[in-house]
């Protein structure tokens, strides 16, 4: 298979004409170097993509770059012997749409060291319904379990529950045997949240407490929003429970005291999906394709968009309007 001389990509610029992103034609030689060229089948929209696509967050470190932190497709050509034409592969994070051209492109050029062979048990489509969001939820579970989180400690709270990371965490954590409580600002989505794994749906006011320690209500959890809700989750976590911090949909601040740590032995675990080491990355994708594979991927994929609809999708996400995952069909 050959790569056409010109193809479509959603490229982001920041120059004298201002910050802007849109579809344009590019050639393969304009993309950041890499050993593996793929014909992209799917990407997805993550919060970070919305920040990058609109300029609301400083995500790109050089310009112009093709957007999209996720990509999955078939190998067209590879100078690395580990990959051959026709192989199904995926990449999430690893500099895509930060320092390298990303997945919002009909063809993408990837670094072999970060390219994951599609694990048996997942289709390319499923791999991008998961994408960075699913990888992040699974990485959180991986870290919680490493630090001895157990169902006996109590339910896991998931904040930003209707979002991509939140929805996939409800499904993955409940499959792994935990009782999961969804914390959401969208009470009208309670049926959706229960249908994908939540045993209870609580309003954001469940995490509106301001004291450094409250009675322990949760065994731990995954926080996607930051700010006072994360502080409140720490204050309501049981002795030796763990809280994974993944997001800042509400705030990047964290005002708390050392009390949950030194009185209850609570741990705050950092989740940084983009820079996860290759060995852990491989292990997590194997789990996502087998015992941690969410049971409700089709329900969680609430929307499919072509490249041309990306600009309309970003603002609603930044305004907190997400529901599940948006798949980008290339
Ligand atoms: N650390 C990592 O490696 C990593 C990886 C992926 C994502 N993230 C971060 O995780 C967060 C979620 O990402 P995503 O892709 O899942 O985004 P998303 O699909 O847009 O979900 C975000 C959810 O957060 C909640 N939310 C939004 N604004 C809020 C506010 N002001 N206060 C409280 N809750 C609010 C909403 O859920 P409800 O309406 O249900 O409350 C929303 O659906 C983002 O901050 C993202 O940057 C981090």
Is residue 73 in contact with ligand 1, taking CB distance under 6 Å?
no
- Nearest partner of 136 among 91, 168, 161, judged by Cα: 168
Q: What is d(CA 174, CA 191) in angstroms, rounded to the nearest whole number? A: 16
Instruction: Render pLDDT for 219-254 as a digit per residue (tens, 0 to 9).
Output: 999 999 999 999 999 999 999 999 999 999 999 999
Query: Which residue lies with its CA nearest to atom 33 of ligand 1?
Result: 250
Is residue 186 in contact with ligand 1, taking CB distance under 6 Å?
yes
Instruction: Render pLDDT for 72-85 as a digit per residue (tens, 0 to 9).
Output: 999 999 999 999 99
pLDDT for res 197: 98
Angle at the Cα of 24 (from 130 to 123), degrees rounded to 5? 20
pLDDT at 135 over 90: yes
What is the CA(252)–ligand 1 centre distance, in A? Answer: 12
Q: Position of tokens 């852990």?
A: 280
pLDDT at 1 over 80: no
Q: Which of 270, 287, 319 represents a domain boundary (last residue)?
A: 270
Query: Which residue lies with its CA nearest to atom 6 of ligand 1?
Result: 133
Q: Are 108 and 190 members of one domain?
A: no
- Nearest partner of 101 among 71, 78, 132, judged by Cα: 71
Q: What is d(CA 303, CA 236) in angstroms, rounded to the nearest whole number? A: 35
What is the CA(142)–ligand 1 centre distance, in A? Answer: 19
Domain that holds residue 81: 7-118+297-329
Is residue 208 in contact with ligand 1, taking CB distance under 6 Å?
no
Q: What is the CATH number of the domain that holds 230?
A: 3.40.50.720
pLDDT for res 61: 96
Q: Is 220 left (phi over 0), alpha (psi -120 to 50) or beta?
A: left
pTM score, whole prediction:
0.98
Q: What is the CATH number of the domain that holds 24?
A: 3.90.180.10
pLDDT over 70, % of the chain: 100
- Mean confidence (pLDDT) of the chain: 97
Token couple for 43 = 């990407």
pLDDT for res 7: 98
Q: Are 136 and 11 members of one domain?
A: no
pLDDT at 210 over 90: no
Q: What is the mean pLDDT of residues 30-58?
A: 97
Is residue 157 in contact with ligand 1, taking CB distance under 6 Å?
no
Instruction: Render pLDDT for 120-132 as a digit per residue (tens, 0 to 9).
Output: 999 999 999 999 9
């Amino acid at each position: 298979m050959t790569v056409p001389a010109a193809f479509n990509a959603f490229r982001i610029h920041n120059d004298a004409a201002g910050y802007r992103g849109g579809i344009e034609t590019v050639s393969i030689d304009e993309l950041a170097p890499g050993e593996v060229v793929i014909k992209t089948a799917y990407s997805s929209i993550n919060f970070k993509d919305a920040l990058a696509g609109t300029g609301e967050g400083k995500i790109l470190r050089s310009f112009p770059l093709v957007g999209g932190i996720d990509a999955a497709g078939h190998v067209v050509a590879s100078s690395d012997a580990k990959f051959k034409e026709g192989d199904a592969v995926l990449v999430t994070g690893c500099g895509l749409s930060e320092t390298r051209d990303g997945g919002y492109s009909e063809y993408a050029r990837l670094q072999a060291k970060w390219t994951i062979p599609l694990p048996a048990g997942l289709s390319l489509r499923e791999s991008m319904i998961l994408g960075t969001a699913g990888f992040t939820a699974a990485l959180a579970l991986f870290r919680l379990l490493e630090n001895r989180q157990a169902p006996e400690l109590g339910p896991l709270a998931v904040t930003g529950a209707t979002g991509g990371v939140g929805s996939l965490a409800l499904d993955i954590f409940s499959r792994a045997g935990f009782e999961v409580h969804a914390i959401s600002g969208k009470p009208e989505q309670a049926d959706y949240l229960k249908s994908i794994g939540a045993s209870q749906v609580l309003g954001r006011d469940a995490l509106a407490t301001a004291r450094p320690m409250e009675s322990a209500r949760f065994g731990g959890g995954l926080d996607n929003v930051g700010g006072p809700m994360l502080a409140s989750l720490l204050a309501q976590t049981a002795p030796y429970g763990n809280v994974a911090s993944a997001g800042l949909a509400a705030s990047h601040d964290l005002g708390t005291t050392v009390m949950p740590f030194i009185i209850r032995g609570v741990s705050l675990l950092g989740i940084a999906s983009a820079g996860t080491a290759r060995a852990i990355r491989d292990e997590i994708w194997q789990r996502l394709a087998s015992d941690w594979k969410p049971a409700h991927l089709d329900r969680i994929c609430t929307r499919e968009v072509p490249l041309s609809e990306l600009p309309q999708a970003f603002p609603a996400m930044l305004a907190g309007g997400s529901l599940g995952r948006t798949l980008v069909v290339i």
